[in-house]
Amino acid sequence: MASLQINNFKGMSMTQGLWNQGYAAYVMGVDVNAISDIGAGIGANLVYPGIIQPQKLMAIQTEAAATDNITDVINSFAYYPTDSSLWAFGSDERLYKYVSGATWTKQRAGAGVDFPAGANSGSACKLINFRTILHVIYDDGYATWDNTTWTSSANTFTTGTQSPRPAVILNDNLYIGNGRYVSRIDDAGNFTAEAATLPEDYIIRSIDVFNNRIYISADNDNLATIFVWDGVSAESDRVENLENHSVAPIIKAVGGVLWVFATLPGAYINTWIYTFNGSSFNKVFTMPFKVIGANDGPAIYNGGLLFPTTETSTGIYEGGTGGIWMINRNSVGEAWQISMPFNVGSDGQEQVTLGTVHASDRSVTAGVRDISGTPEYGVWGTTTYDNTAGEWISLPIDAGDFTRNKTWHGIQIETDLPFQTYNASRDVVISYRTDPNSNDGSWTELKTITTNTDPSPHLYIPIGAVSNTIAIRFKIGAPASSQGTRIRSFTLDYTLHPR
């Protein structure tokens, strides 16, 4: 009989065969990158990379009642330092404000009321703070708020087509993409409607600053192109075509890397994720869902990127893909990992529509439409408590020989349960499956361990299955307002069958 041990747990990889390095097939609601802070209360856990431990819980934030509550999907957030508030702009032209510890309240709403007649914010809405003025961008133009005066139409764009309105700041100028044009607002507030013009039929989907240049992601229904511009010249410096893609990617720069999230057209659900070093694209991941949130783009958080995804029916991959995902790594030089640290919604991540995600300091906020829950629309934010439900699923484990069957005798789990006797309800549910192609929840439960019934930190559980590969799933959670169990490693005993 032989044994194999897996520790130093990591995020997801779609590359089979990396099970022995601790990579996972699915990670939801747990923290393997040590991005959380210390938990609340007595016995709070320090977080360390490589351990399966609960991520911070997200909960719906308080909002105003009746007509002032949130009634649309939030598609853009902006922190406004003038009064230390967070603002949110919705798909139905409603503008909300939140001060820490208070409630979300409606501040402005409606075409022909607080916005010009005919204005629309469905795909165009974008908030950005520029020179202490909050710019509220919709399809035809933008409004401004300087903490005293609301200007419903500060300026208008050349085109009012329904398309994204991404915006960035470079060299004390604000740049806004609208259709095939880029508008500019300088440090004196002067507006130029057509500071840059892309070729005919191109639509700008996403922009960001990289290497002191503005990178403009656009498409013309046939080709996805990234235009590189200095923000001053009449035309772009150069053009980078993203081969094999017709949908313009979402782009975001962090840590000297330009990330490129390229979704596929039509019914294809995959997202191809690239990095760009200034001269070439390198494909890093293929993920089984579509990344959204072009106007705000991914949010920078603890050296990584958060990005929202949506799941409006039952989960199409493992437990579901609707939530806030993250690209991160534990240290420079290590491989990048993907996980879904923050799940939202009253009935799990399978039934939510996300608009955008915002990160500030240690807090994460998301605009959510909870399809199965009440209230239907809202803003969810991180709390000081551990997540009440999370999953870590291993890649299919073949024990180093994919050509032969094995008898899987048992599994030994190393946890910190004995050190958590101050709370008796920190369940860990261990399951397995032997079909490497399954992602539909066809699991066999081995055991549910708790502090009271199984206090050993070296618990051994028999399996007795025969298969070519095996996948292990841990479901962990925390009691309300407390901390959950951490898993440090597991060991599988097996016998290799002859050929």
DSSP per-residue codes, 104-170: BEEEEETBTTTB-TT---TTT-EEEEETTEEEEE-SSEEEEE-SS-EEEEEEE-S---SS---EEEE
* 367 vs 351: CA distance, rounded Å: 14
224 neighbors 217 (Cβ within 8 angstroms): yes
Given pLDDT bands bounded at 50, 70 and 90, which one contains residue 292? confident
351 neighbors 322 (Cβ within 8 angstroms): yes
Provide the whole-model pTM.
Answer: 0.91
Helix (H, G, I), strand (E, B) or coil at 253: strand
Which range is most confident: 47-61, 173-187, 343-357? 173-187
* 64 vs 67: CA distance, rounded Å: 8
228 neighbors 237 (Cβ within 8 angstroms): yes
Q: Is the pLDDT of residue 411 over 80?
A: yes
Q: Is the pLDDT of residue 97 over 50?
A: yes
What is residue 440's DSSP assignment?
S
Looking at residues 359-384, what average pLDDT do you find? 86
Q: What pLDDT is stored for residue 336 in this prediction?
A: 83
* 93 vs 74: CA distance, rounded Å: 10
Q: Is the pLDDT of residue 267 over 70?
A: no
Question: Higher-confidence residue: 372 or 107?
Answer: 107
**Structural tokens at position 342:** 């923050």
Please give the mean pLDDT across all residues of the chain.
Answer: 88
* 337 vs 262: CA distance, rounded Å: 17
Helix (H, G, I), strand (E, B) or coil at 87: strand
Model pLDDT for residues 463-488, shown as the tens digit of each residue: 999 999 999 999 987 766 667 788 99
Given pLDDT bands bounded at 50, 70 and 90, which one contains residue 32? very high
Backbone angles phi, psi at 162, to 5 degrees: -75, 100
Q: What pLDDT is stored for residue 40 in this prediction?
A: 46
Looking at residues 346-365, what average pLDDT do you find? 84
- Name which of 16, 18, 44, 73 is nearest 310 in CA terms: 73
Given pLDDT bands bounded at 50, 70 and 90, which one contains residue 314? low
> Is there a cis peptide before residue 81, judged by omega within 30 degrees of 0?
no
* 309 vs 287: CA distance, rounded Å: 11
* 103 vs 96: CA distance, rounded Å: 10
Given pLDDT bands bounded at 50, 70 and 90, which one contains residue 42? very low
Model pLDDT for residues 413-422, shown as the tens digit of each residue: 998 765 544 4
Q: Is the pLDDT of residue 347 over 80?
A: no
**Structural tokens at position 258:** 């330009």
Q: What pLDDT is stored for residue 266 in this prediction?
A: 67
Looking at residues 62-90, what average pLDDT do you find? 93
Given pLDDT bands bounded at 50, 70 and 90, which one contains residue 249? very high
174 neighbors 128 (Cβ within 8 angstroms): yes
Q: What pLDDT is stored for residue 398 in this prediction?
A: 95
Element (H, E) at 419: none
Question: Higher-confidence residue: 135 or 354?
Answer: 135
| Distances from the Cα of 462 to the Cα of 42, 375, 432, 447, angstroms | 34, 44, 12, 10
